[in-house]
Every structure is written in structure tokens, then in C-alpha cells.
Structure 1
Amino acid sequence: MVRTLARIHPDRVFAAESAMCMFDLEQPYDIHPEHELTIASPSRSGIHVFAKTGFIKRTLYVPNMQAMSINGVRVTSLARTLFDCARLLPFECMLPIADSAAKAGFDMASLTQFPTTRFDETNRIARLLTYTDPLSDNGGKSRARAVMIAGGYMLPHLQYPCPNPDNPAFPLRVDFIWFLPGDVTVVGEYDGMAKYGNTWTEMNTHVTKQCKRDAYLRKRGVTTIVHFSFDDVIHRELLYRKLDDAGIPRMH
């Protein structure tokens, strides 16, 4: 839709999530609702609903606009796009984008160059800068971490290396790891469905490898291994139950 409208209205500048889709960053599908787009405006913010189609055009006030072009589509700068998304989107949707930007080398601290108009916006930006981590491996794991943060859980170490007996040059990296009092070590593994494959053989091979990996981690002193899925992240009470059962403390 963005590309099509850019051809029809070449002077239009897209903003927030509608600009974000043009950048090569991890981003959740659910920040892009059907039949909604956001356009930058140098003068005002507003919303227009087209009666016949139900299409929603949001206008976002962007002062001192410095538009850039990506594949023929005019969008707000990456810094401005990140800033607007950070103040408008839920934290669990924004952290994957921020982690991805930081991993690509973007200085997230540059978001502070833009003035906020409300106290809650200032808090949203500060919270995002506090928790952004370029070590996050992908958007699903970033979203899982955001849900953990929202639940008040102790922050894990990310992509922690463990010795690999089969190939010492390439250590095993666990998604999340907590070192708790009493020599208790808990590993968290985010199991995206893509890693299981599409056939019975692929799934069986993955499960076999996973069991072997888990057994080795336990031999290396890991006390508990928590496997969780995207469904657990979306229905956060399921993830919270698993973390509670594993003894991950809540800090607040």
C-alpha cells in the first residue's frame, strides 16, 4: 500500500509504522494494521476515516521534517521514525525494532534529540533506551524479553556462549540465561516454529538435537531449561508461569 500510494502521491511523506516498513529492521506484523497508514505533516496531527472503504489515514505532526527516499518512497528519517514509533507503539512491539536498529549499528541515544510533548512520551523513550540490547538474536526473542521486563522479572544474559563438545570453535549460545543464588543456573530457549522444519523428518531431527543439547547443558551445570514459544509470549501468563516454576525472581 505504501509503495502504491507513493506512486500516486510522490510528494507524500510516510511516518511512524508506515515509514518503518521501508527500513530493513525486525518489526512485528501487528504494528501494520490493515487499511491504516500514517502520513507526516509539517503542520498538524489528525485522523481521517474514509466512509466508503473504512480506510484510516493518520496524519502525524513532524516539525522540521527531513524526509529521505527509500526505493522511491519518501519517509521520515530513521531516527525520527524510531522516535515516533517509540512514543506511539506498545513497548513489546517497539523493543524488537530498537534491538534490530542497535544491532545494525544505529545509535539509539540519538532519539533524545527530538523534544517530547508529554511526560509519558519521555518515559517511553527512556524505558526503551534503558532496555535496548543489540545482542538480541531476532524479533521474537526481543518481544519475549519485553514481556519478561513488563512482568518485572530479573533480566537475563543474552546469547550466552557455552562450550560445544562437537565443535569447540563454535560455542553453543543459549537465548537467555539467569545465574541465581545457590549455584542455580536457568536457561531460557525461544523455540520459533521455523526451527522445527516443515516435515516430520525435519521436526524429529530438530527434537533429537534439542534433547542432546539440553542433556549437554545440564551436564555443564545448567539446573533448569525453560522452552517457550511465540504462543507463550503472546499469552504472557503462560510464559510467566514457566518462569515462576523455574524460580526466576521478580524484581518488582
Structure 2
Amino acid sequence: MSDDELTCVNGLPVTSLARTVADCLATLPPLEGLVVADAALHRKVPADDVLRAIQLRGRTNGYIRAAALLSLADDGAESPGESATRYQLLRAGLPVPTTQIPVSTRVGTVWGDLGWDGWRVLLEYDGRDKYVTREDLVAEKRRHDAVVETGRRVLRVTHQDMGSAVARVVPLLPATVTRNLRRRPELAA
């Protein structure tokens, strides 16, 4: 391990964040690796640093998969649930969705978690703690209605129905896109 892959935290030597992410991409199941990479990129760890750490590992087990997973990581994912939703879509072979899609509405600019703006399809991941108060729920309903009024189709996803997200989104996409889906082998568990 090279010196630039090490750092000190509270006086203890540890691997750098980029090296830790590279190790996670190479050794964890693909879903967990992607969640870790998304979180790191969201926190502004440069993807180039992670790629360099992957390359420094050499052609060890997981090297090819780690690089492939890193290419699918996205700094726009704001929660593990959003990453997991995107993972399910990518694993099924759907086109790479855009994250944090701005939508101009009557209530101002609203940001969709992920989707395909060209096809006017948005997915919103609703985590357990997203709506703490009644006011949160009312505000989200108002936001949702404003987005739908722009002609977009919005699919809400929770942890409980994550497994059905692909089946629910396919009918919303053009047949030319969904007719020849090819699963991504690097995302196979």
C-alpha cells in the first residue's frame, strides 16, 4: 500500500477515504459498494482519486467490478434508498437515470430524486424519516401535485416496494427502450 493511500485519524493510521471506497467497491456486494461510492462522491471525494486507488490495488479479485461500479456511482444520490433504487433500475438494464432533476413548477423549482427527464418520468424515494410532521406530508403532497401538473409521471418508491420498482417503471418508458433490456453483469449479486 502506498503512502498516499494512508492517512491519520486521531493519531491512528487508516486507509484514505478513496482507498476505503475502492476496497468497498471490490469486496462488498454490488449494492452496498454502490451505496458507499455514491455517498463518498456526494461528499466530494473525487472519482479520479477512487479510480486511482482501484488501479493501485492491481488486478486483484474485484478490480474489474470495482471500476465498473465506480463508473455507475453518482454524486447526486442523497440517501442509501436513492442509491438502492438506482441500483435496481441499472441492474435490470434500464438506461442510467439522472439524479436530482430540476422541475419548474407553480411552487418553484422542485428537485426529483432520479429519473429520465426526456421521457418525463421521475422516481421519488420516500424514506422512513422523510415526513416527520403532518406539515412535511402536506408540503410533499403539494410539491408532488405541482410536478404532476407539468406532465411528468412520478413513481414513488419505498424500501418495502423496492423489489417492484423496475416492474412499475417499465410501462412508463418507451417500448424502444424497454424492449431489449440487458442486465448489467457487474451488478449481479
Length-normalised TM-score, structure 1: 0.61
- The equivalent residue for 2:88 is 147
- The equivalent residue for 2:46 is 107
Letter in 2 for 1:75: V
- The equivalent residue for 1:116 is 59
Residue 159 (structure 1) shift: 0.3
Letter in 2 for 1:92: L
- The equivalent residue for 2:35 is 96
Percent identity, aligned pairs only, is 24
Matched, 1:125 2:66: yes
Matched, 1:189 2:142: no
Letter in 1 for 2:57: F
| Counterparts of 2:121 and 2:128, CA distance in 1 | 22
Q: Match of 1:163, SS?
A: strand
- The equivalent residue for 1:21 is none
Query: More helix by proportion, 1 or 2?
Result: 2
Unmatched 5+ stretches in structure 2: 183-189
| Counterparts of 1:205 and 1:213, CA distance in 2 | 12
Alignment of 1:5-154 (within 5 A): 63-64=1-2, 67-108=6-47, 109-111=51-53, 112-118=55-61, 121-154=62-95
Cα distance change, pair 124–208 in 1 and its aligned pair in 2 (3 A):
same
Q: Quick check: 2:22–2:66 contact (8 Å CA) kept in 1?
A: yes
Matched, 1:219 2:149: yes
The size of the alignment, in residue pairs, is: 173
Q: 1:58-81: per-residue Cα shift (whole Å, max 9, x none)?
A: xxxxx4575433234432222322
Length-normalised TM-score, structure 2: 0.79
Q: 1:97-130: per-residue Cα shift (whole Å, max 9, x none)?
A: 1122222232222232320224xx2321221221
Residue 179 (structure 1) shift: 3.9
- The equivalent residue for 1:34 is none
Is the radius of gyration larger for structure 1 or structure 2? 1
Q: 1:176-217: per-residue Cα shift (whole Å, max 9, x none)?
A: 12145xxx41111000111121xxxx2x43333233222211
